[in-house]
Amino acid sequence: MATLLIAEHDNTNLNELTARALTAARAMQSPVTLLVAGSNCQAVAEQAAGLGGIERVLVADAPHLAQQAAEPMGALIAELAQDFQAVLAVASSTGKSVLPRAAALLDVMQVSEVTKIVSPDTFVRPIYAGNAIETIQSSDPIKVITIRSSAFEPAGQGDASAPIVAVPTPKTRHCRPLNARNWRRRTGPIWDRRASSFPGGGHSARRKHSTSSSNPSPPNSVPLSAHPAPPSTSGYAGNELQVGQTGKVVAPDLYIACGISGAIQHLAGMKDSRYIVAINKDADAPIFHVADYGLVGDLFEILPELESKL
């Protein structure tokens, strides 16, 4: 029995996180089928077909799937899943909304935010904001799993293109299609988990500058700012820029925590970074316990100096 991997995409481009989830899917020790569900998403299917180690690409292309809403997506995946031993998706906001819905329709307990696949029925996942690591075994006939993408390396391109097969797209009966959907993209730095480095700015970083304007941008990096919860709650940055237990989980080569105290909820989102730099005026701030390099001082003096010397 094969593994079904749900592609992460925006109807035009395949998101790179899919390649990371593919590495996890291959660890399930069975052929991998990729599902591209959306509207006018043929281009995505073609990109996906080039990924290495995929047996085929299923395309569910219909107007009611344009937003990948949880109601029709859950029903579609639950229907397709009958023929698979496992269904995987990235633990993105789409994956997190859609997959539990499919799991419930299949009467399966989902395994959330998996960081390691031990065997096709045994998985490792963090609990309690990453303060404990749980290994669980699932007895469900179909495994439904969301993948923490920062824990897996992206799979490469394949030699040949996998075949693309269209599948029917049933409309959900009991859920009315949603209307009046609209998107508001925020201006400013767009989140990118692939960034090799980025600075995180906390509560304090809003005083004089916005963190993004004082971002040092080392070579090979995407300039980004990542805020812990308080600036977000007070209107400084949205959830898409929040790092932590309930925000994004990132693991870049370099994470610079500027004026961040190091609350457990924040550490949960960045402590797997390769190198952590902490800049804080309080020498006793807990962030220094996890930082590789710490610099005690005022970030409004240190950041401009750092920027000028890069």
**Looking at 30, 42, 122, 161, which residue binds another protein (CB under 8 A)?**
122
- Residue 105 touching another protein (CB under 8 A): yes
Report the residue number, 49 or 273, with the smaller CB distance to another protein: 273
Site for ligand FAD in 255-274 (CB under 6 A): 259-261, 263, 265-266, 269
Binding to another protein by CB under 8 A, coded x per residue (else -) over 184-223, reads xxx---xx----xx--------------------xx----
- Residue 130 touching ligand FAD (CB under 6 A): no
- Strand 122-127 relative to strand 116-119, pairing: antiparallel
* Least gap, CB of 46 to another protein (angstroms): 22
* Least gap, CB of 197 to another protein (angstroms): 7
Contacting residues for 159 by C-beta, under 8 A, at least 6 apart: 52
**CB 147, CB 20: distance < 8 Å:** yes
**Looking at 11, 23, 47, 138, which residue binds another protein (CB under 8 A)?**
138
* Least gap, CB of 52 to another protein (angstroms): 25
Q: Round to whole Å and give the CA distance between 254 and 260.
A: 15
Q: Round to whole Å and give the CA distance between 228 and 69.
A: 28
Q: How far is CA 240 from CA 92, 129, 139, 209, 247, in A?
A: 11, 18, 34, 20, 7
- Residue 216 touching ligand FAD (CB under 6 A): no
- Residue 88 touching another protein (CB under 8 A): no
- Residue 209 touching ligand FAD (CB under 6 A): no
| Token output for 26 | 């291959």
* Burial class (CB within 10 angstroms; exposed 0-12, middle 13-18, buried 19+) of 165: exposed
**Looking at 11, 92, 204, 214, which residue binds ligand FAD (CB under 6 A)?**
204
Contacting residues for 181 by C-beta, under 8 A, at least 6 apart: 67, 69
Helix axes 93-105, 70-81, angle to 10 degrees: 50
Please work out the total of residues on this chain that contact ligand FAD, with binding judged by CB under 6 A: 26
- Residue 104 touching ligand FAD (CB under 6 A): no
Q: Round to whole Å and give the CA distance between 89 and 83.
A: 17
Residue type, 258: C
- Residue 228 touching ligand FAD (CB under 6 A): yes
- Residue 229 touching ligand FAD (CB under 6 A): yes
Site for another protein in 27-86 (CB under 8 A): 67, 69-71, 74
Find the largest Cα–Cα distance for the chain. 61
Please identify, among the stretches 4-12, 150-158, 160-168, 240-248, the one whose residues bind ligand FAD according to the rule CB under 6 A: 240-248
Closest CA to 55 of 5, 18, 19: 5
Query: What is the binding site for ligand FAD (CB under 6 A)?
Result: 202-204, 228-230, 242-247, 259-261, 263, 265-266, 269, 280-282, 285, 298-300
